[in-house]
Amino acid sequence: MGGYGFDLTYVFLVLLPGMVLSGLASMLVKSTFSKYETVGTTSNLTGAEAARMMLERAGVTNCRIEPIAGRLNDHYDPRVRTLRLSEPVHNERSISAIGVACHEAGHALQHATGYKFLQMRSMLVPVTNLASRMSMPVLMIGSLLMAMAPALGMPVIILGIVLFAAAVVFAIVTLPVEWDASARAKKAMMHAGIVNDEEAEGASKVLNAAFLTYLAAAITSLLTLLYYLHRSGLLRILLNSNRR
């Protein structure tokens, strides 16, 4: 087995599709956010105020909301029950700000109700962080060993693939977490009177565009895993075993 460099299989089956998917998703979320960033709502709430209203109506009163520097780096930290909203979201009174803030509040609602996929993702975080740092070095070492001692190299490559697979699992588990948070936000925004029907359509477009970035990341990770399985010969072994 050769190295894991930029061979043609990797370029055409993983690198280029991944770059195209990620690039398109990123462009879409930025353009959609910018489009509705200048459109206000009849409620005239800031993103932080909308998120607070959504949480309080659901009976969640133990969640802090705080601003952070940056743009489109909003997130919910379940370890300290805190919504961290970027300044364009925390302080602004736009459809984009409200949509993103309420999406993050959706994660807080997931936490409060014990949403299983959020719990699973939280448990995977430390494992994924370690596996992501180690997978490529282990694969490179395994690839070098294969050239000298295949009997030693293959177990190391398998270990590298297993480590990378942990990151793939995390990316896949993230999909229902993000989709559900947006679904909760869309419903709560309407029920709380944060947005009207027309404004809700714009907020939905912002949230749907953001979800595509997670979908693109998951697809790219899965393609990369399939490539590693193919290069190692494990994919052929797995396919043959399933045919028996």
Annotated catalytic residues are: 104
Q: CA–CA separation, 183 vs 178, rounded Å? A: 9
Q: CA–CA separation, 90 vs 173, rounded Å? A: 27
Q: CA–CA separation, 53 vs 47, rounded Å? A: 10
Write down the number of H helices and E strands in the chain: 9, 3
- Listed in sequence order, the residues at least 6 apart from 194 whose beta carbon sits closer than 8 Å to its beta carbon are 41, 43, 45, 50, 53, 54, 98, 102, 188
Chain position carrying tokens 């909301």:
65
Q: CA–CA separation, 148 vs 166, rounded Å? A: 28
Q: How far is CA 8 from the centre of its chain?
A: 28
Backbone phi, psi, residue 115, to 5°: -60, 125
Q: Annotate 66-129 with DSSP letters as a single string.
A: EEESSSS--EEETTTTEEEEEHHHHS--SHHHHHHHHHHHHHHHHHHHT-HHHHHHHHHHHHHH
